[in-house]
Structure 1
Amino acid sequence: MARVTLKGNEIQTSGTLPKVGTKAPDFKLTTTELNTKSLSDFLGSKVVLNIFPSVDTGTCAQSVRQFNQEAAELENTKVLCISRDLPFALGRFCGAEGLNNVTSLSDYKDGCFGKDYGLDFTTGPLEALHSRCVIVLDENGTVKYTEQVSEITEEPNYKAALEALLDD
């Protein structure tokens, strides 16, 4: 399990992120149109998994905005913004903000994504939500980069994640 903090107070996650060099676990997540997407739907593209507790918080919303801006410049890359928010909330936020360079996906149905990726909070006030993480995958679904943000109120290292897309 990873130990992270929320405003300096320690909280724990359900496990550890997938290791660099391993195949990412498959998933089934819900789109804002209530369709199901799996990892296999994105094979052939590089993928950035931007994972966060809720789009209704300032830091989470900023990560979606920032990756949306960065994604516009990326070739053969998909940015997936993943949380346990309802698909309606994700759709409302992206629609209101005019964000169309990212794909919002919800793990609201069964939480299997968070469990399989080892990133659910298991203690603290955000228990059962996803911790703030970034995972970068190559075109074959192999993990190239991971970041478990140590203080949940802080943004991820966008630059490091984007640079991992360039490493071949």
Structure 2
Amino acid sequence: MADVTFKGNPVTLVGQEVKVGDSAPNFTVLANDLSEVTLDSSKGQIRLISVVPSLDTGVCDAQTRRFNEEAANLGNVKVLTISMDLPFAQKRWCGANGIENVQTLSDHRDASFGKAYGVLMEELRLLARSIFVVDSNDKVTYVEYVSEGTNHPNYEAAIEAVKQAK
């Protein structure tokens, strides 16, 4: 598993580490209207999955805003931001911040995504900051487990990976 810290403290990631070349694991999360969303909900599209601990923190806010801006120029790409925030909080945050190009999804109910992608921080029951690019054939083409949860991901590498995906 990836070595990850949060505010300098080591955390235990629950689940299987996902690697480039793997078939993307399925998951079930909740949309802002409480409907279930799975990987298959965007089948046939390239997916950029941006994982954040909580939208209400500085780095997570900046990460989601950045991918919201980038999404407008990426064409047939579904940009998902997944966190443990409640769907109601995600909807409020998006409305207050003009986020329209990213779909925010909540893993709070079952931690299905967190376990499937190996990003559930056991000690905090939050998701570790990470990025996954899944191509239209459900293959993982890019993975970044950010080593320190309060650091930014490599935005440029993730965007380039999306552009290279088919």
Whether TM exceeds 0.5 here: the answer is yes
Q: Are positions 1:143 and 2:111 aligned together?
A: no
| Residue of structure 2 in register with 1:122 after alignment | 122
Q: CA deviation at 1:15?
A: 4.2
| Residue of structure 2 in register with 1:44 after alignment | 44
- In structure 1, runs of 5+ residues without a counterpart are none
Q: Is the 8 A contact 2:74 2:163 kept in 1?
A: no
CA distance in 2, matches of 1:9, 1:21: 30
Q: Are positions 1:166 and 2:156 aligned together?
A: no
- In structure 2, runs of 5+ residues without a counterpart are none
Q: TM-score, normalised by structure 2?
A: 0.94
SS at 1:99's partner residue?
Answer: coil
Matches within 5 A, 1:1-150: 1-123=1-123, 127-150=124-147
Q: Is the 8 A contact 2:15 2:114 kept in 1?
A: no
Count of matched residue pairs:
165
CA distance in 2, matches of 1:147, 1:138: 15
CA distance in 1, matches of 2:17, 2:50: 13
CA distance in 2, matches of 1:103, 1:116: 19
The percent identity for this pair of structures is 46
Which residue type is aligned with residue 20 of structure 1? V
56-65 or 10-19, which deviates more: 10-19
CA distance in 1, matches of 2:122, 2:2: 10
